[in-house]
């Protein structure tokens, strides 16, 4: 496999990871990870895939809507391992808590090629910025 093919497969997997998170398809989301995976999302750190998945299933559910978009990938392939840097733009809304977050971050990932394709070994991001607001303070704000 050429690096181009590997980069394409990693890119498709990362996009699948984002879609699975936003649709709360936890089975698909978990399938993007190697069993030994870890994660670090700003101030949230997970030392195991079990920890990460328990947190997601418990804390990201009904009443929370999100949009996570990654772009500008910089992927370096070295045999059966790779690294990836991505720009993230995200929005998280919890109307019942009168809360909206918008932000940007830089993801730093490590991947491993497996029999089932490329998997995330570590994923995490560092925030560039974030802003929050209360939708109730904007009279015309609606979520449909």
How big is the chain, counted in residues?
144
Q: Which two tokens stand for residue 25?
A: 């398809």
Q: Is residue 116 classed as helix, strand or coil in its secondary structure?
A: coil
pLDDT at 141: 87
CA neighbor of 34 nearest in space, from 139, 143, 119: 119
Q: What is the mean pLDDT of residues 50-65?
A: 95
| pLDDT at residue 73, rounded to an integer | 97
Q: How confident is the model at residue 137 (pLDDT cuts 50, 70, 90)?
A: very high
Residue 12 has pLDDT above 90, yes or no: yes
In this predicted model, what pLDDT tens digit does every residue of 98-134 receive, in sequence order?
999 999 999 999 999 999 999 999 999 999 999 999 9
Ordered by where they begin, the domains of the chain are: 3-137 (3.10.450.50)
Can you tell me the mean pLDDT for 54-71?
Answer: 95
Residue 105, beta-bridge partner list: 88, 127
Judge contact between 42 and 5, C-beta under 8 A.
Answer: no
- pTM higher than the cut 0.85: yes
């Amino acid at each position: 496999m050429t690096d181009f093919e590997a980069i394409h497969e990693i890119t498709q997997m990362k996009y699948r990871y984002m879609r699975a998170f936003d649709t709360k398809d936890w089975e698909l989301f978990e399938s993007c990870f190697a069993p030994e995976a870890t994660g670090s999302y700003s101030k949230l750190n997970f030392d195991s895939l079990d920890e990460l998945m328990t947190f997601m299933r418990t804390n990201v559910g009904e009443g929370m809507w999100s949009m996570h978009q990654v772009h500008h990938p910089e992927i370096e392939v070295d045999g059966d391992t790779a690294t990836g840097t991505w720009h993230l733009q995200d929005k998280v809304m919890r109307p019942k808590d009168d809360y909206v977050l918008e932000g940007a971050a830089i993801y730093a990932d490590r991947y491993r090629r497996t029999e089932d394709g490329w998997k995330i070994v570590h994923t995490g991001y560092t925030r560039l910025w974030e802003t929050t607001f209360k939708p109730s303070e904007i009279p015309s704000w609606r979520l449909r």
